[in-house]
Structure 1
Amino acid sequence: MTNLFQPDGKLYNLLDRLYQLLVLNFLVILTCLPLVTIGAALTAAYGTAYRIAQHKECVLYKEYWRQLKVNFVPATKIWLGILAIGTGVFFALPFVRDYVLGNKVSYYLVMVLVTVVLLALEYVFPLIAKFDNTLGATLKNALVLSLKHLPISIIVFGVNLAGILLPILLPQGFILWLFVGIGLVLYLNGKLMNAVFLKYS
């Protein structure tokens, strides 16, 4: 029974992991507030989540800030690009909506394209955190990996979707989600992504 409270005990490890998720969650929310830094914040979170998942020793907040500093420029460039494209699509949607919805072929083609893009975007910031590469190569690898490892891509999508829907469907758990939800989602995704990336390290 006393082993539960030892540094290698299950209860100690569970509480330690919960503490890490709380800190990670807080750091992500804090660094996402300027909005333009969301890409860098996600990248730093994934870089830190890799170390947590691999049980590597680190001072969590120091590792997070290190990851944020190292990957700030490439992650922010891609994030601003995503924002620009997303904004363009949003304003163009009223002009093409009738054509897309009125034609079954174009509708299904657009749905397939949107699905592929969303799956590829799941890999962009984790890739920046894991590998030193050009922006073009990162985007290309994100697309290739998302399709090559489609089951993992779908699971990650499900985790992300659950992270978005749970506080809406279960508002009574919103406070708990606010404290650990984002950190937990990124930690789970980090474990899944790391399993993929280890094959290419």
Structure 2
Amino acid sequence: MRIDPEGRNAQGITTFVLFVVLNVLYIVTCLPLVTIGAATSALYEVTLRYADEERGDLIRGYFRALRKTWWRATLVQLLLGVPTAMLAFSAVFWLTMDGVVTAVAGLLAALGSLLGAAALLYGFALVAWFDAPLRRTLHNAVLLPLVEPARTMGLVLLPVTAGCLVFVMPQAVVVVATIGFSVGAYVSALVLHDVFRRRQADPSELEPISPHSGQ
């Protein structure tokens, strides 16, 4: 059997391998934990570019994005991630106790942690795709879940579904370890492109943002 290197099959295999390599790179660069924000922003940048008419190099682009976004993404991780983690801990704490008041407090904390998680994802994506001061990035990241509730739900459900799948079927961790993060980011990128286009066309209460130069 002859394989045409320019054919669809060969291109599909090459793309699959690149997404596997990208997935492994993402996991490795997340291992120090404090680099999760920078790694996620870099992953969003290359997948946002790829989702936009398959532009950019996935692997070399990832390293470039990692160097470019690390400090802003790390600050977003600290400023949005720490309060979100505290709310999630509070939700677990209150929901393990008996009583109506503690149940209400737990549910409010859980809702706050979900909104915080959505704002965190938006924050990483905004760092990846836009040139903006940190204050403006945080402002827009917090508001986007409120002005785009339907798309935000889809954005948050992706990692939640993956986590539930691994919990129910531990063998699914193999899929997550090979293509789960990179393909999940690509699907998220399609949602994010839609959100960003809508918000740029009708910014409403969001502060103005402009794409990175060179895109």
> Do the structures match in fold with TM over 0.5?
yes
Name the amino acid aligned to 1:169: V
Q: Post-superposition shift, 1:50? A: 1.0
Map of 1:151 onto structure 2: 150
User: In structure 1, what is the Cα distance between the partners aligned to 2:180 and 2:86?
Assistant: 30
**C-alpha spacing 1:147/1:36, structure 2 compared with 1 (3 Å):** same
Q: How far has the Cα of 1:179 moved from its partner?
A: 0.9
Which string of whole-angstrom CA distances, capped at 9 and with x for unpartnered residues, describes residues 68-106 of structure 1?
Answer: 111111111121334543565578779977699625654
Aligned to 2:208: none
Aligned to 2:181: 182
**Long gaps (5+) in structure 2:** 201-210
1:1-201 matched pairs, under 5 angstroms: 5=4, 7=6, 9=8, 11-85=9-83, 102=101, 106-199=105-198, 200=200
TM-score computed with the length of structure 1 as normaliser:
0.82
SS of the residue corresponding to residue 143 of structure 1 reads helix
Measured in 1, the distance between the counterparts of 2:130 and 2:99 equals 38
Cα 1:134/1:159, change in 2 over 3 Å = same
Q: 1:163 to 1:109 in 2, by over 3 A?
A: closer
Q: How far, CA to CA, are the matches of 2:159 and 2:88 in structure 1?
A: 22
Alpha-carbon offset, residue 31 of structure 1:
0.8
Asked if structure 2 preserves the Cα contact closer than 8 Å seen for 1:101 and 1:107, the reply is no
Whole-Å Cα distance in 2 between the matches of residues 61 and 187 of structure 1?
A: 14
More helix by share: 1
Q: Percent identity?
A: 27
After superposition, the CA RMSD in angstroms is 2.9
The size of the alignment, in residue pairs, is 198
Q: Using the alignment, how far apart are the partners of 1:87 and 1:118 within structure 2?
A: 9
State the alpha-carbon separation in 2 of the partners of residues 128 and 149 from structure 1: 18
TM-score, structure 2 as length reference: 0.77
Extract structure 1 runs of 4+ deviating beyond 4 A.
Answer: 86-101, 103-108
Q: Structure 1 residues 137 and 64 mapped into 2: Cα distance closer, same or farther (>3 Å)? A: same
Cα separation, 2, equivalents of 1:89 and 1:176: 30
CA distance in 2, matches of 1:183, 1:94: 29
